Copies of this chain bind each other. A is one copy, B any other.
Amino acid sequence: LPVMAQDGAAPDPLASWNDGAAKQAITDFVRDTTTAGKPTFVPPAERIATFDQDGTLWVSHPIYTQVVYCLERVPAVVAQRPELRNVEPFKTVLSGDRAAIARLSTKDLEKILAATLSGMSVEDFNADAAAWIARAKHPRFDRLYTDLVYQPMLELLGYLRANGYKTYIVTGGGQDFVRVYSERVYGIPPEQVVGSAGGTKFGYRPDGTPFLTKEPKLLLNDNNAGKPEGIHLMIGRRPMAAFGNSTGDRQMLEYTTAGPGARLGMLILHDDGPREFAYGPARGLPDTRIGTFPQALYDEAGKRGWVVVSMKNDWKRIFAFER
C-alpha cells in the first residue's frame, strides 16, 4: 500500500526515496518541466526519459542476467550444432567450471551471445526467453530476476509517466531479450525498449507463412557512444532526463544534459553491500568488470551537475519484497 502522508494528503509517489538531494532533484525537475508558464516548461510530446537497465533498474551482479540466460542456453545450441562441442568458449561453458566461466573474456561472451541469441525465429526466441525469465532465480537472493528490480526506480518510472513523460529503456543488453518482460515488469512497452540489436531476416516457411529469423549480425551496440546514437535511431529526440549507473551511460547523460532548458542526469552508485552489492571503483568502492563506475565518472557528474544516487543513503528500501 502507498505510504500516506501524515496529514492525509496524497501518498508520496516516491515513498521509497529518503528525503535528500536526489529526491529533491527529481521533484524539482518534474516541477520545472511540467509547470505551464515556466520558461523551462516542456510540451508533453517532448517529455522523454531514458533509463539504462542493468544496475539502474535491476540487479546486475554478480553477472548480467542476460549472460546467465545465454550461458544456460549453450547446451541446447550445442545439441543443434554439435561442431561447437569442443570449440572454445563453448567447451568451457559445457564444463560447468564456474571459475573458468567467470574468467571468460568479453570476446568469448560476445561469441556466446551471438550463438545463443540468433538462428531461431523471433517467436521461438520470445517464447524461450519468457519461459526462462519466469523460472530462473538469482543465486544470492533466491528470487526471480524480475523480483530484483529496484522499488525506488519503479516509483520514479511511474512518477515520470504520471507527469506526462514517456519512459524508455536504453540498455546495452539485448533489445529483444528485455522486450520479453519490460511491459510486465517496468510498464515499458516493447517499442520503448532500445538495446543492442541484431538484424533479422525475413523469409517464408514451406507453407508460405512469412517469418523473421534472428541473425548474428549486430546492427546497434547500445553502449557508450552507441547509447545516444541508438536514441537518435530509435527515438529521434534528445531525452530530457537520463538515468544510468556506469561508464557505459556517460555519453547518454552527456547528450541528454547538453540540451537546453531543465535537464536531469542521474547515476546510481552501488554502495550498499549488505542490501545489494558494493562496487565502483569510485569513492573507494571495490572494482568490478560489471557496471564499472570509475572515479572519473563521479568527478564528471560533479562538473556537469549530474546527481549521484547513493543506494545506501537515498533509498529507504531497495526491493519491493523487503519489509
Contact = CB atoms under 8 A, between A and B. Distances in A.
Nearest to A228: B202
A228 B212 contact: yes
A255 interface: yes
B251 A191 contact: no
Contacts of A193: 236
A79 to B, nearest CB: 26
A12 interface: no
Interface in A185-227: 189-191, 193, 197, 199-202, 209-212, 219-220, 225
A202 B183 contact: no
Each complex incorporates copies of this chain amounting to: 2
A220 B225 CA distance: 19
Main secondary structure, interface of A, reads: mixed
For A179, A233, A251, which residue has the most chain B Cβ atoms within 10 angstroms? A233
A175 B229 contact: no
Nearest to A237: B190
A4 interface: no
Residues of A in contact with B, size category: 35 or more
A233 B202 contact: no
A175 B232 CA distance: 10
Contacts of A191: 48, 166, 234-237
For A234, A236, A255, A258, which residue has the most chain B Cβ atoms within 10 angstroms? A236
A176 interface: yes
A202 B219 contact: no
A183 B44 CA distance: 13
A199 B197 CA distance: 14
Interface in A250-283: 251, 254-255, 258
9 contacts: A166-B191, A190-B235, A191-B234, A199-B229, A210-B251, A211-B258, A212-B229, A212-B255, A234-B234
Interface of A: 45, 48, 122, 166, 175-176, 179, 183, 189-191, 193, 197, 199-202, 209-212, 219-220, 225, 228-229, 232-237, 251, 254-255, 258
